[in-house]
């Protein structure tokens, strides 16, 4: 059931992306404060370093990212990142196969990686310099009102974490890694919907009980009247 809710949540996010078109070109550079002031735009994502953030489009994690260097020009970094222990054992895959083309995410030095850490020719997660992302997070509003979103900045997917608040997705999983899955409207709305259904059936049950009591009272009263007439 939980898996079905996640799938439904994913498709709802895609739907909202189509309905609410965030009118901003990819690679637009904003300050972190400007990003945090964005509301009601589901499914968008930024990557940040210090106070500089860049818009990458919809809520997904690309393999490469163009980010402003110190002199202000865009530099391409490898965003595809591997766990340190897997990199040591050589378990990470650096070849990305697409139709008619193959990309390599192999690195030779730290500066090629957005995480600024290259181990064994793999870009790895760097606890000293975690990748920071900003994701749109759903807010549940009262029943019969539409949900809204706000931007939250924190550690990107698979970065190490201890609690939800550290992650851009506000979701730290049981493996102490920031989860790609973000809490969407179904996480809260499903609970509220169940509560509303429960209240509705309780109300219906009370009406049935009161109706039965009323019927019994009327039945007894009519019987007494009939006996008096006889």
Select the highest-mean-pLDDT range: 22-26, 68-72, 93-97, 115-119. Answer: 115-119
Domain co-membership, 230 together with 145: no
Domain co-membership, 146 together with 64: yes
Q: Identify the domain boundary among 151, 166, 183.
A: 183
Average pLDDT over the chain, rounded to an integer:
79
92 in any annotated domain: no
Domain co-membership, 6 together with 69: yes
Domain co-membership, 137 together with 23: yes
110 in any annotated domain: no
Domain co-membership, 73 together with 146: yes
Domain co-membership, 178 together with 189: no
Domain co-membership, 176 together with 138: yes
Is pLDDT at 29 greater than 50 in this prediction? yes
Q: Domain limits at 212?
A: 185-230
- CA–CA dist 193, 41 (Å, integer): 24
Domain co-membership, 150 together with 69: yes
Domain co-membership, 201 together with 217: yes
pLDDT per residue as tens digits for the range 79-123: 999 999 999 998 888 887 766 777 889 999 999 999 999 999 999
């Amino acid at each position: 059931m939980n898996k079905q809710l996640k799938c439904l949540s994913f498709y709802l996010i895609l739907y909202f992306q189509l309905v609410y078109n965030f009118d901003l070109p990819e690679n637009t550079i904003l300050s972190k404060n400007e990003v945090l002031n964005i509301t009601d735009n589901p499914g968008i994502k930024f990557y940040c370093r210090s106070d500089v953030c860049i818009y990458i489009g919809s809520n997904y994690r690309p393999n490469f990212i163009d980010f402003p260097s110190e002199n202000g020009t865009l530099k391409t970094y490898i965003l595809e990142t591997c766990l340190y222990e897997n990199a040591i054992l050589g378990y990470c895959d650096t070849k990305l196969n697409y139709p008619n083309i193959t990309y390599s995410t192999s690195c030779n030095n730290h500066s090629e990686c957005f995480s600024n850490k290259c181990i064994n020719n793999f870009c790895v997660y760097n606890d000293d310099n975690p990748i920071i992302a900003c994701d749109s997070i759903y807010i549940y509003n009262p029943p019969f009102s539409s949900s809204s979103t706000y931007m939250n900045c924190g550690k990107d997917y698979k970065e190490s974490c201890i609690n939800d608040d550290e992650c851009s997705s506000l979701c730290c999983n049981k493996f102490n890694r920031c989860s790609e899955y973000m809490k969407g409207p179904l996480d809260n709305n499903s609970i509220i919907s169940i509560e509303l259904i429960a209240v509705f059936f309780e109300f219906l049950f009370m009406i049935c009980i009161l109706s039965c009591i009323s019927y019994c009272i009327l039945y007894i009263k009519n019987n007494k009247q009939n006996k008096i007439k006889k």
